[in-house]
Amino acid sequence: MSTSVLQVRDLKVTFATPLGPLVAVRGVDLDVSAGEMTAVVGESGSGKSVSFLAAMGLLPKSATIEGSVVLDGHQLVGASPKLMRSVRGRLMSMIFQDPLSALNPVHRIGAQIAEMLRAHQTMSERAARARAVELLEIVGIPQPGDRALQYPHEFSGGMRQRVVIAMAIANSPKLLIADEPTTALDVTVQAQILEVIQKVQAQFGTAVVLITHDLGVVARVCERVNVMYAGRVVERAAIHDIFDAPTHPYTRGLLASLPQAGVERLVPIAGFPPNMLRPPSGCAFRTRCAHAIDACGAGVPELRPQGESMTACIRSGELTVSA
Amino acid sequence: MSNELVNSPAVREAAVPVVSPRRMAFNRFVSHKAAVVSVFVLAILVVFVALSPLTARYGVNQSVQAPPNSFLPPRANAWLGTDDIGRDLYSRLIYGVRVSLIIGLFSAIISVLIGCVVGAVAGFRGGRFDDVVMRVTDLFLAFPFLVTLLVMRNMLGAISWLTPIIGKVSSVRFIIVLFSIFGWMGVARIVRGQVLALKEREFIEAARAVGATRRYIVRRHLLPNSIGPIMVALTFSVVSAIIGESTLAFFGYGPQAGDGATSLGILVGQAKGAVNTGFWWLALFPCLTLVTIALTINFIGDALRDATDPRMQKDG
Amino acid sequence: MLRFVIRRLAWAVPTLFLVTFLVYIALRIGTNPVESYKRINPRATPAKIQQYIDKNGLDPNYVRGYFRWLVNFVTLDWPRSIKGSREVWPQLKDALANTLRLGAAASVVGIFFGLMLGVYAALRPGGRRDVGVNTAAFVGISIPPYVSAILLQLLFAVYWSRWFGSTLFPTSGVYPPGHTGFNLLLMLKHMVLPVTVVAIQIIAVYARYMRSSLLDVLSSEYMRTARSKGISERRVLFKHGLRNALIPVVTIAALDVGSIVGGLIITENIFSYPGMGKYFLSSFGEGDFPLLMPWMVIIVASVLLFNLLADVSYAWLDPRIRLE
């Protein structure tokens, strides 16, 4: 088994809100191996982004983080700001959904990438700018020398996201977290960006966590999938198993709701996403699950093996699996 | 199947408590303690002033006693002292504040009415009209306030055919008109900004797609969603008019309604002379009143801005 | 960038003419220069009156009159004042110098401390120091300058001398009466109170601007990106946060500075400071057109110049604007 780059155990994130404490992440277990592309899938509010923002230490002070996040041997929960600063941008980077607002509008692109380089490597400004141009070339920006002198608003959406990727992998991090990198882009551009991520992954050996709600994107590029619901991972499987043999009713619901050629009516998952201020007791999905039984409300189900996958459904063994 | 689930106790238990935006805004406002206190203070003041014949102890031009009655420090029969001809400062303050509040309120309302229309049209139409309006108001607002005020005052006063409409230079009506002409520009900018921000939102696009006329969109969608900034603009217009009036009065250009009638501005204006002669009550009390009014209205306006600012709804 | 500046300049020049023309009309209507002349010089002969009309460009036709005035103005052939028939420029020059000194000192002090306070408050929003700064700034804004001027005068002129025997800070004039020549210490002493009054307002306004702008910026996405790079918190704050937060503030500062030449009228009046304010009030009160027009031109030019500067600085600081 390849080395583990990221190990998340029982991660809990609580926000202090005017309406009371909101537990956005209720105990997440996750593993990412070196060089692999893992997906984290879930709807809005499932806690997928918050989990990784917590790992990066980018949450506001009103958030309480508990549990364990080990990145390349470093414990990140409760780490000193100094350690976090040395880890961020060097061992672990994050790219976000909207590349326009993610880039500082008044600094040139080349300078922003150079800043990333010089934060963790001793380099002259000149050398950093040169390396920045090289990075722009790697991510496929034409005429990188000229473009490095331009400002973010002079780029199109797809180009900007490439720039963001170039910035994120500047220091060859072990882990790249991509939070909905394609959601704000056109479909054609989405495919290009995914290719860039794959290329970068191959060239630098970076492990990638792809956070998304779009299963189509997942199918293209990922090797493993973690499905999150209501702040917990409810299923973890290899890419083929997820699509061929989903073991958790939520995953099955997600797959069933995908539009398919030839199918006339869309099949949504019944009910509403849970109120994270007062989530349902036991399995959070039981209020929407067709197979829920009384025992489902008894305690929060842990991830257990089911065939090749891990699942958090106590009935996973008995339920028939449909494609 | 789905219906049963949706109505099951577990689902209802998990439902999010619904708080209307209006309630949220109200809660946010109330959390500003200074603003709440200001509301009370201001309300008391307004009630006092509105009931003026009852609450004032003397008439506005009435001496408290037979001479010697001038420049008496605060005492039993003149709570805040007397002025140069023996009139009770307390009563004159009440009447003065009434005049100033009227000026402030009416000019603010007129400013907001004009400003909303111009701002909404400018923001919505865009293009040439917007450009021109914005440049003109920008320039106008860039000039020193008092200079433009005085020049405009003289100019309007000198145009004889306007006098029947807007009153003589020394009348309250004229002052209201003068401040309205100033005030609408600030309001127009605020409303225009808001309209510009809203114009690109999807619900406007949707309204247009359904065939709504421009006027309908402005009336039904843009303006109601701008209530927040408009209310804020209103409060700040009131303050600026009140302070502006006192500034004018300070230099002797304020309202002279005759019969000894006074305004807060005139009373504050007399404060300057009182400093050198040591009659501190003539300086302190009008100034305190002015500052109190300005402070309370400003606090309320600020809290209103926080309460209605959509930016605040971004957290969470 | 250069094209931007040139385009703005091209706008500014006709605007200058247009605005001075409007001012010319407003003053003619408002102060009725011919009547003022006759009032102040009741024994003037019709020939003298006509000479006055010609010199000042007061033709019945406003457009022709304006151009006549403009020619005289540009060729530095300025008419003398109505009252006392004095040269305009020496008076104006002194007034301008005094006001510039006061305005510059107050602006520098006010903006500097205001910005610092604003940053100080924004770094811990909602905390005690934020609330403290905000409230203090608020009170500062709500007290009109002349109220604080009067109160300060009361304190320092009347009561200080009563309690301590001597006046600490003088409350009038540039120098004590009768003083001639240049004395830096005396001048500074006389400037302390007026500068304080003006600076209070400026500090209050800029503290709030800076705080609001910085808060906006601090919640932006690119701040999160900057942090995710692992750079020092100080660099995040200065290179990313402040750099962006200063943009609207600088623009407003440029505009404010532009109007300060005519914006100190009240303060100057209370402290009997012989600046542009006093000049304006006395000449306006008398309807002294020859004195007023040059004053107005300075004001207009200053406002337009700083408007231009504000635009340019905005474009220089924010590259997104330059495309326009």
Q: Which of C217, C229, C324 to mutate to test the interface with A (most CBs of A within 10 A)?
A: C229
What average pLDDT does the segment B127-132 reach? 84
For strands A224-229 and A175-179, give the pairing. Answer: unpaired
Question: Is the per-residue pLDDT at B213 higher than 70?
Answer: yes
| Cβ atoms of B61 and B229 closer than 8 Å | no
Q: Tell me whether residues A278 and B13 touch, CB distance under 8 A.
A: yes
Q: Closest partner residue to A102 among C225, C233, C247, by Cβ? A: C225
Question: Is the per-residue pLDDT at A160 higher than 70?
Answer: yes
Question: Is the per-residue pLDDT at B11 higher than 70?
Answer: no
Residue B314: predicted pLDDT:
36
CA atoms within 13 A on the CB side of A318: 6
What average pLDDT does the segment C141-145 reach? 83
Q: How many CB atoms sit inside 10 A of residue B275's CB?
A: 24
Alpha carbon of residue A68 to chain centroid: 17
List CB contacts (< 8 A) between B145 and chain C.
263
Q: Tell me whether residues B5 and A270 touch, CB distance under 8 A.
A: yes
- What stretches of chain B show up as alpha helix (H) in DSSP? 2-7, 9-14, 21-30, 33-50, 52-55, 89-125, 127-142, 145-158, 163-166, 172-199, 202-209, 214-217, 223-225, 227-250, 264-277, 280-308
Give the predicted TM-score (pTM) of the model. Answer: 0.82
| Cβ atoms of B207 and B155 closer than 8 Å | no
Chain mean pLDDT for chain C: 84
Which backbone phi and psi does C261 adopt, to 5 degrees?
Answer: -60, -35
Q: Tell me whether residues B295 and C146 touch, CB distance under 8 A.
A: no
Name the residue type at position B242: I
Residue B197: predicted pLDDT:
80
Question: Is the per-residue pLDDT at A190 higher than 60?
Answer: yes
pLDDT digits (tens, 9 = 90+) for A59-80: 988 899 999 999 988 999 989 9
For strands A232-238 and A224-229, give the pairing. Answer: antiparallel
Residue C171: predicted pLDDT:
67
Residue C160: predicted pLDDT:
67
Question: Is the per-residue pLDDT at A209 higher than 80?
Answer: yes
- Chain A residue with CA closest to C233: the answer is A85
Q: Closest partner residue to C31 among B142, B154, B302, by Cβ? A: B154
Residue numbers of A between 259 and 298 with CB closer than 8 Å to B: 270-272, 274-275, 277-280, 286-288, 290, 297
pLDDT digits (tens, 9 = 90+) for C202-235: 999 899 889 889 988 888 889 999 999 988 888 8
Split at pLDDT 50, 70, 90, the class of B258 is low
Residue C167: predicted pLDDT:
57
- Chain B residue with CA closest to A283: the answer is B10
Lowest mean pLDDT, pick from A144-153, B19-28, B305-314: B305-314
Lowest mean pLDDT, pick from A180-194, B74-88, B302-316: B302-316
Split at pLDDT 50, 70, 90, the class of B203 is confident
| Cβ atoms of B241 and B183 closer than 8 Å | yes
Higher pLDDT, B25 or A31: A31
The tokens of A302 are what?
A: 């842990």
The tokens of C202 are what?
A: 């400026």
The neighbouring-strand residues paired with A6 are A32, A71
- What stretches of A169-319 show up as alpha helix (H) in DSSP? 187-204, 215-221, 239-244, 249-256
What average pLDDT does the segment B270-280 reach? 74
Q: Tell me whether residues A274 and B17 touch, CB distance under 8 A.
A: no
Question: Is the per-residue pLDDT at B15 higher than 80?
Answer: no
Q: Tell me whether residues A85 and C232 touch, CB distance under 8 A.
A: yes
C263 close to B (CB below 8 A): yes
Q: Tell me whether residues B155 and C30 touch, CB distance under 8 A.
A: yes
What average pLDDT does the segment C74-78 reach? 86
| Cβ atoms of A8 and A30 closer than 8 Å | yes
pLDDT digits (tens, 9 = 90+) for A231-252: 999 999 999 888 888 888 888 8
Split at pLDDT 50, 70, 90, the class of B14 is very low
pLDDT digits (tens, 9 = 90+) for C159-168: 666 666 555 6
Residue A174: predicted pLDDT:
93
Residue A86: predicted pLDDT:
92
| Chain A nearest CA to B191, separation (Å) | 26
pLDDT digits (tens, 9 = 90+) for B146-182: 888 888 888 888 887 877 877 777 788 888 988 998 8
Higher pLDDT, A235 or B67: A235
Q: Name the strand (E) or helix (H) holding A177.
A: strand A175-179
Q: Tell me whether residues A104 and C226 touch, CB distance under 8 A.
A: yes
Question: Is the per-residue pLDDT at B5 higher than 50?
Answer: no
- What stretches of B126-199 show up as alpha helix (H) in DSSP? 127-142, 145-158, 163-166, 172-199
Please enumerate residues of C whose Cβ is less than 8 A from a Cβ of A: 220-222, 224-233, 239-240, 243-244, 247, 317-320, 323
Residue B16: predicted pLDDT:
54
Question: Is the per-residue pLDDT at B247 higher than 90?
Answer: no
Q: Tell me whether residues B10 and A280 touch, CB distance under 8 A.
A: yes
What average pLDDT does the segment C274-301 reach? 89
Higher pLDDT, B11 or B195: B195
pLDDT digits (tens, 9 = 90+) for B95-124: 888 888 989 999 999 999 999 888 888 888
